[in-house]
Structure 1
Amino acid sequence: MFSKLDSVLQLVRQWQLSSPQNQGLYTPQWSGAECVVRVDNLSAHSISLGQIDLFDGQLPKDAKFHGEGFQMLAQNYGSADNITAIGRCPDAGEYRLSEDADHFTAYNQLLIESEGHYTLLGFSSCHRFSGYFKVYPSGRLVIGIDSDTLAIPARHYLNSESLFVACGESREAVLVQFAEAIEQHHPRLSWPSKPNGWCSWYHYYANVTADDIEENLQQLISPHDHLDYLLIDDGYQEFMGDWLYPSERFSGGVEGLCKRIREQGKEPAIWVAPFIAQAESRLFQQHPDWFVKGQNGQPLAAEEVTYGGWRCTPWYVLDTTQVQVNQYLHHVFSHMYHHWGVKYFKLDAIYWGTLAKGYRADPNKTRIEAYRMGMETINKACNGDAYILGCNAPMWPSLGLVHGMRIADDVERNIGRFKQIAKETFFRNWQDMRLWHNDPDCVTLNNIENQHTNEAAYNWHRVSLLASSGLVFSGDRLIELDTTQAEVLNVLQKNLADAARFADFSLQHAKQYQDDHLVRQYWFNWDEHNSLEIRLNLDAQWQVLWADSQFTSESTKNGLTICLAPNSAVVFEKKA
């Protein structure tokens, strides 16, 4: 059924809805492997369609699939009648993006595996609308777009985003084709190389002080001089929304601190949640009219319609369809760029810029358009010369607007979170250097209060980070790293290989290439209770780079037999 592209294209073409109320309304326009559907309003009055189901079909009975989430913390995989959430926060959970009472919803990408073949159905553009895939336990598949609250005037039309179809025997190959199609609609923002550095959040969290920054700056000068950026994370600001006003722990101001960082030959980086503000902030107190409204005409608290945020709530969301709001954003980021000298911005909580179920000043703009307007303003404020990292972001709406993208949950020092992050990252490895730089979150190698784990868990963490080839930012207090831990950080930072390629959804084995040469191979035992024995055909050119103390191997006439304990990982590297 899914063995040849022509047959798949023909199948999808046959999936066009043909219910009586839609006759003459939907017109698919195919160009090669992409389809844009024209949706006409043939009536004499304006209509709002909300979710527009474009195609209706059936998955193969044995199909397995991976479905992307709308926001960073959501991914799913499995089969139609047995779907597993990968992240902690499914779109239909705390984020309340879909109801999913009798079905499951994926967004913008659905990768299907059946009988050794892969079929990719994905939206290669996201300018105005988010695409969705509704999967029912019966295997029914509905493909559509969410037109938000947008109204189609009488006898006018809208065009859907581009739906892309690819299939083949290689999982990696169809994903590459998809990335190339996306590039045509959303050219990737370029940057000379992947940034690296140190981040304050994962040791100090919101209690970080200026003295903490000063201490770790000295460590970046020596012995960790190979790390370039010092990222001042959440906690420097007085209130969420008042980014230019420091907290009492930064009484000397952030601008002077950034100047000292630059004087020491390092680059200051800053955390900002640009689209939200808490009620106590100057921003909200002085300009309540700048925020997305509820039905009562008052600023809408995010927690009323979605996940409310992790601290300093309730959060209110800026309406980026307003000229004055974009002028404000331009001022904040222009000031940080020109006066603070910041050329690296970690933009967090930007999913809230796509807040649904609220009212914006311009009803002709969808929430995706509103979000993209705000992000474009931020880029322009920095003259297009600052690195933009998206975090807790809407995935596809961010295409072409960020240099780097957090693709996994916040790191915590325990094997459960390390494994969760690894799985989230590996399913998105294909995005690295194609859509953006992947950021699997910070490297943490030391225990802290309330976060304690063992050597095997830290080994899993370092092995999976190496396989990701993502951004490398240390999250530990640098002065506490020993020589071995410092060397792990050094190896990760110097890794120039591509993100590892996994052959199938099991994520058990991966190969990593550099300049088209195979340089590393990885094996992961995801089982929590049982050991995994594997026979490998590896010659003397291969050596173990990292493994935990429970790892065993035995050479035989037929090659090498390795044994991985539960929750264990190993990486073999080819000798130079």
Structure 2
Amino acid sequence: MEPVVERIVATIGDVSCSSPVTGPGTVHVGGLDVALGEVRPGTPVAWSLTNAGDAPVRVRSVAVVFRLPGITGPLRMLRHGYQSWSRTDVAVFGVDRDPSTTPGSVEMMQGIHHADQRRALDGELRSEWLTVLRDAGGRSMLAGFDAGVEHDGTWRLRPSGDPGATPELWAEAFLGDAQLGPGESRALHPFVTEPVADGDVCAALDRWARRVGSLGGARISAPYQVGWCSWYHYFHGVTEQHVRDNLSLAGNWPFEVFQIDDGYQSAIGDWLTTNEKFPSSLDALAGVIAAAGRRPGIWLAPFIVAPDSEIARRHPEWLARFADGQPLWGMVNPEWGGGRGGVMYALDTTRPEVLAHIEEVCRSLVEAGFTYLKLDFTFAPSFDGVWSDPSCTPAQRVRAGYEAVRRGAGDGTFLLGCGVPLSHVVGLVDGNRIGPDVAPSWSLPGTAVTLPGYEATAPATLHSWASTLSRSFMHRRLWLNDPDCLMLRTDETDLTVEAITTWAHAVAVSGGMALVSDDLALLGAGARSLLDDVVVIGRAADRAAIEGAAPRCEDLMDAAVPTTLTAAGYALTADPATATSTLSRPA
């Protein structure tokens, strides 16, 4: 499968312009000069753009459009998700649809789960950062961007417009209406298209991740992580006493990290003060955890604030805005309250004083003793809106926030990204959530409230399973994978024993982080034995990844939900419909 360059398309605001491409050189399109290097399979393509006019322009995107000659349908596409919780699956062109085109789709969900929050075209499929295509003849091709630091990279399969013609593949640099001044030039992230030798998609994904991690200075040296987290038993209702009770029961458990999750803060945005459920100060809590021999960890959502938070009241000028001047929404979660029914505002990470504030918050948390920070809902700076510096792309806004976190936290603090556009944070985070939230149920309960098109991003252990297998190749290449927490309890859960075991073994064989999130008082000898098994397998799989053998998901391109994962001689196979599985071990 060898794509052929046809044209370049530039989108300025809502207007798209197109110019044909005949070879390497500069193409004038829509008032922009786009310089395109030689396009050869397996070689990164260099390109850049320049504002050729005498007035500023807002560039939404620039794309190189390829024909895909000679393919045999149906054509399958690996759709890699935008951020931690976004679905990664395999879709069939002409059969499946982009979730944004689902009737009733909500634009905020589109912004959370795609670089471009606008509705996709009818018949279009898209993937963020990278993709794999495979036709009915078994020919496969990987396509990926080298980075996502300066802008997003989106791969789009679109109908060509000619009946019976093969689809077009778009390599899109998404700049999100970033403003370019007259004569201003910007280098764009190189991208590569390469045939998959012998159809070995796992090996191709591993090569791509190694390259991107090396180019981005990926932080992959942290030790294998085992810990406890408060979220999946206590949720927002967690109290200081809950934390202390579990710490007192953790004596012989192999936890290195002990993390307080959402529920301690006085308000979203006011991270240094606790609420009435946590009468002790943060430094006192960190001291108690450290005295028990664990690394203190804490959760925060550093880029959003509640309307009634102290920070929002004191600094309304720090908020990004809608076009009408109202504060830009960065998330909606009724559980948080905040004075507007759970609406949270996005901090403007293009303002130096906002970055200084984020830096100081993280420095203060580390000085209090928390050297493990979980950073959540960090997609907020990517939304369309009015930002203080209009020249910044969404990727640059997210990246700037994370850079401020790292400056404040220091090099020795473990940063765990969550709800983050994955391509933006290579080289800044030590670990990254790579799937939706688990839940005390395997699939979505019938009573679950979801938004049209995005059901597979809602909390359910099945959804975590799918992402853990689909993104297993990223572990120890771009960061340490965080599949999300183990679910060990057999009380206060709808998970069967088979489902608990299947998920635990998926976490183990992936080599990713192993965090428990149950009330330890509910866990007996069976749960402890399962955790010990997870740690043994996980350390072996993690060690294999470090030594060069990444986990492999052999049936990644065969079904929407993959079924197999292998690493370090272990092979896990499951039936996603029933949550039953078999695990074979090294001889």
- Fold shared, TM-score > 0.5 on shorter chain: yes
Q: Which residue of 2 aligns with 1:108?
A: 129
Q: Distance in 2 between matches of 1:91 and 1:405?
A: 26
Q: Name structure 1 gaps, 5 residues minimum.
A: 3-7, 514-518, 529-565
> Residue 487 of structure 1: which of 521, 526, 529 is its match?
529
Q: Distance in 2 between matches of 1:44 and 1:457?
A: 62
Cα offset, 1:282, TM superposition:
0.2
Q: Tell me, yes or no, if structure 1 residue 318 matches structure 2 residue 352.
A: no
Q: Tell me, yes or no, if structure 1 residue 122 matches structure 2 residue 164.
A: no
Q: Which residue of 2 aligns with 1:46?
A: 56
Query: Residues 364 and 381 (structure 1 numbering): CA distance in 2 closer, same or farther, change over 3 Å?
Result: same
Q: Tell me, yes or no, if structure 1 residue 66 matches structure 2 residue 67.
A: no
> Residue 82 of structure 1: which of 95, 101, 108 is its match?
95
> Residue 29 of structure 2: which of 22, 31, 49 is its match?
22
Q: Tell me, yes or no, if structure 1 residue 380 matches structure 2 residue 407.
A: yes
> Residue 419 of structure 1: which of 457, 462, 476 is its match?
462
Cα offset, 1:257, TM superposition:
1.4
> Residue 110 of structure 2: which of 78, 95, 108 is its match?
95
Deviations 1:153-201 (A, max 9, x none): 2233322221122322211221122113212431111433022110000
Asked whether the 8 Å contact 2:98–2:120 carries over to 1, the reply is no
Question: What secondary structure is seen at the aligned counterpart in 1 of 2:259?
Answer: strand
Query: Residues 510 and 196 (structure 1 numbering): CA distance in 2 closer, same or farther, change over 3 Å?
Result: closer
Asked whether the 8 Å contact 1:118–1:174 carries over to 2, the reply is no
Deviations 1:109-153 (A, max 9, x none): 111123334311111111211111222356322221112222222
Alignment of 1:321-336 (within 5 A): 321-336=350-365
Q: Which residue of 1 aligns with 2:446?
A: none
Question: What secondary structure is seen at the aligned counterpart in 2 of 1:464?
Answer: helix
Q: Tell me, yes or no, if structure 1 residue 172 matches structure 2 residue 202.
A: yes
> Residue 501 of structure 1: which of 534, 547, 552 is its match?
552
Alignment of 1:277-288 (within 5 A): 277-288=305-316
Q: Name structure 2 gaps, 5 residues minimum.
A: 10-17, 21-27, 112-116, 160-165, 444-459
Cα offset, 1:488, TM superposition:
0.9
Cα offset, 1:90, TM superposition:
9.5
Query: Residues 368 and 308 (structure 1 numbering): CA distance in 2 closer, same or farther, change over 3 Å?
Result: farther
Q: Distance in 1 between matches of 2:298 and 2:524?
A: 27
Q: Distance in 2 between matches of 1:180 and 1:266?
A: 32
User: Aligned letter for 1:385?
Assistant: G
Query: Residues 184 and 463 (structure 1 numbering): CA distance in 2 closer, same or farther, change over 3 Å?
Result: closer
Q: Which moved more, 1:263-272 or 1:39-48?
A: 39-48
Cα offset, 1:86, TM superposition:
10
Q: Distance in 2 between matches of 1:51 and 1:308?
A: 31
Q: Which residue of 2 aligns with 1:542?
A: none
Q: Distance in 1 between matches of 2:581 and 2:273?
A: 45
Cα offset, 1:464, TM superposition:
1.8
> Residue 55 of structure 1: which of 65, 72, 88 is its match?
65
Q: Distance in 2 between matches of 1:404 and 1:311?
A: 26
Question: What secondary structure is seen at the aligned counterpart in 1 of 2:156?
Answer: strand
User: Aligned letter for 1:163?
Assistant: F
Q: Distance in 1 between matches of 2:183 and 2:262?
A: 49
Q: Distance in 1 between matches of 2:510 and 2:107?
A: 27
Question: What secondary structure is seen at the aligned counterpart in 2 of 1:189?
Answer: coil
Asked whether the 8 Å contact 1:290–1:319 carries over to 2, the reply is yes
Q: Tell me, yes or no, if structure 1 residue 273 matches structure 2 residue 281.
A: no
Question: What secondary structure is seen at the aligned counterpart in 1 of 2:269?
Answer: coil
Q: Which residue of 1 aligns with 2:276?
A: 248
Asked whether the 8 Å contact 2:8–2:29 carries over to 1, the reply is no
Q: Distance in 2 between matches of 1:117 and 1:105?
A: 19
User: Aligned letter for 1:35?
Assistant: V
Quote the RMSD (CA, aligned, Å).
Answer: 2.5
Q: Distance in 2 between matches of 1:452 and 1:509?
A: 24
Q: Distance in 2 between matches of 1:364 and 1:86?
A: 29
> Residue 515 of structure 2: which of 448, 460, 473 is its match?
473
User: Aligned letter for 1:19?
Assistant: S
Asked whether the 8 Å contact 1:199–1:231 carries over to 2, the reply is yes
Question: What secondary structure is seen at the aligned counterpart in 2 of 1:162?
Answer: strand
Q: Which residue of 2 aligns with 1:532?
A: none
User: Aligned letter for 2:513?
Assistant: L
Q: Distance in 2 between matches of 1:58 and 1:310?
A: 48
Asked whether the 8 Å contact 1:91–1:98 carries over to 2, the reply is no
Q: Distance in 1 between matches of 2:93 and 2:167?
A: 5
> Residue 521 of structure 1: which of 557, 565, 571 is its match?
571
Q: Which residue of 2 aligns with 1:463?
A: 505
Q: Distance in 2 between matches of 1:448 and 1:484?
A: 13
Q: Equivalent pairs: percent with the same residue?
A: 22
Using structure 2 for the length normalisation, give the TM-score.
Answer: 0.82
Asked whether the 8 Å contact 2:44–2:192 carries over to 1, the reply is yes
Question: What secondary structure is seen at the aligned counterpart in 1 of 2:189?
Answer: coil
User: Aligned letter for 2:570?
Assistant: R
Asked whether the 8 Å contact 1:126–1:397 carries over to 2, the reply is yes
Q: Distance in 2 between matches of 1:77 and 1:206?
A: 34
Structure having greater relative contact order (Cα 8 Å, sep ≥ 6): 2
Q: Tell me, yes or no, if structure 1 residue 439 matches structure 2 residue 482.
A: yes
Query: Residues 420 and 86 (structure 1 numbering): CA distance in 2 closer, same or farther, change over 3 Å?
Result: farther
Q: Which moved more, 1:190-199 or 1:277-286?
A: 190-199
Q: Which moved more, 1:184-193 or 1:15-24?
A: 15-24
Query: Residues 37 and 308 (structure 1 numbering): CA distance in 2 closer, same or farther, change over 3 Å?
Result: farther
Cα offset, 1:487, TM superposition:
1.1
Cα offset, 1:508, TM superposition:
3.2
User: Aligned letter for 1:475?
Assistant: S
Asked whether the 8 Å contact 2:239–2:264 carries over to 1, the reply is yes
Matched residues, number: 516
